[in-house]
């Protein structure tokens, strides 16, 4: 990597391929991220953490040189996972929608992430349903 490239943030290094084409993106997916949180409106739901399952699609700016094979030129998916974990830690929301928004806001703040879709599954929330899920889509403010 060139010396001046080292000073740039991940978002700047991921400005896009083909001469800075900002319309070129790629997605990072996290599938089946299990977290234990307090979430629900019923009194029995507020007694102890319950397992929720996250699906995340983070739309990221494509690296300026996709052939570089350099972790510094892309969004590190470990940062996306950690943002989700940190956003959910210690929370106690009534609504899964509120928790999904909190997680989406944390992920879209990761440098290089332009947009994120967070699907939050709450297994066993309704009788005769495997799970109830909500999806929140958040775009980075330009």
Q: Where in the sequence numbering do the catalytic residues fall?
A: 122
Q: What are phi and psi of 64, to 5 degrees?
A: -60, -35
Beta partners for 135?
119
Q: Are the C-beta atoms of 134 and 98 separated by less than 8 Å?
A: no
| Cβ-based neighbours of 47, under 8 Å, separated by 6 or more | none
Helices (H), 1-70: 3-6, 10-13, 17-20
Calpha distance 9→13 (Å, rounded): 6
Report d(CA 93, CA 71) in Å as an integer.
35
Eight-state DSSP code of residue 62: P
């Amino acid at each position: 990597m060139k010396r001046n490239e080292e000073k740039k943030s991940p978002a700047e290094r991921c400005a896009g391929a083909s001469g800075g084409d900002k319309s070129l993106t790629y997605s990072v997916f996290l599938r089946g991220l299990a977290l234990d949180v307090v979430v629900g409106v019923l009194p029995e739901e507020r007694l102890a953490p319950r397992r929720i399952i996250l699906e995340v699609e983070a739309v990221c700016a494509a690296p300026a040189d996709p052939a570089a094979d350099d972790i510094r030129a892309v969004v590190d998916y470990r940062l996306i996972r950690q943002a989700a974990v940190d956003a959910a830690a210690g929370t106690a929301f009534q609504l899964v929608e509120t928790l999904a928004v909190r997680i989406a806001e944390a992920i879209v703040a990761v440098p290089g992430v332009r947009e994120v879709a967070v699907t939050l599954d709450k297994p066993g929330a309704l009788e005769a349903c495997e799970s109830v899920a909500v999806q929140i889509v958040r775009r980075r403010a330009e």
